[in-house]
Amino acid sequence: MEKILIAGANGTTGKKIVDLLATSQYFTPVAMVRKEEQIKQFEEKKIETVLADLEQDLSHAFSAIDKVIFAAGSGGKKVKEVDQEGAKKLIKESEKNNIKKFVMLSSMGADAPEQAEDLQEYLKAKQNADEYLKKSNIPFSIVRPGSLTNDEAKGKIKLSKKLQERGEISRADVAQTLVRVLHDSAQINKTFEIIEGDTLIGKAIPN
């Protein structure tokens, strides 16, 4: 079983990722949380946690970690500090620890922030973090979903390096996609966009 560090484990998508990994036959989750009071909910499910802040030292969070999922977000409050610099700090630490794969939850529009009508600062931060990851020596997958919803998982997506349309996708399906690309050869060193679609996630992303 590979140990997966989830940055942003307390977020809406992060919690879904942790739950999926907790039932996986390949992976076991380590929930990275920022506040002491966020630990209990995971401990009750017997999920390992680590207290670490993306704005602080992260070296202690990497004990026996094999792979990393970055699903953290500042919610627009500290875009540069968390979404950009926090991600870069996690990537740097991953390099030091010879992490086998880094899965980045990015956003559709991060390839051209200047064209966005809103959220330009956020998309620019995501773009900078994505570019930093691409230049690292860590095998990676960068996942760029459309607008996130809290709908039920459909288990089906539309995936392309560049989709020629906007669209929505549930956080549940994004979580499934992120877990799917943890496999070594799945979408290795690729950046791709996803929205709700007709292709089963397992088919859209062969291992």
Q: Which residues are catalytic?
A: 122
CA atoms within 13 A on the CB side of 97: 22
Question: Is the sign of the CA dihedral 9, 12, 18, 24 positive or negative?
Answer: negative
Cα of first residue to Cα of last residue in the chain, in angstroms, is 16
CB 174 within 8 A of CB 195: no
Pairing mode of beta strands 48-51, 168-170: unpaired
Structure-block tokens of residue 173: 């399906």
Residue type, 105: L
- At residue 41's C-alpha, the angle toward residues 37 and 46, to 5°, is 125
- Which residues are 9's β-sheet partners? none
167-187 exposure pattern, b = at least 16 Cβ within 10 A, e = fewer: bebbbbbbbbbbbbbbbeebb
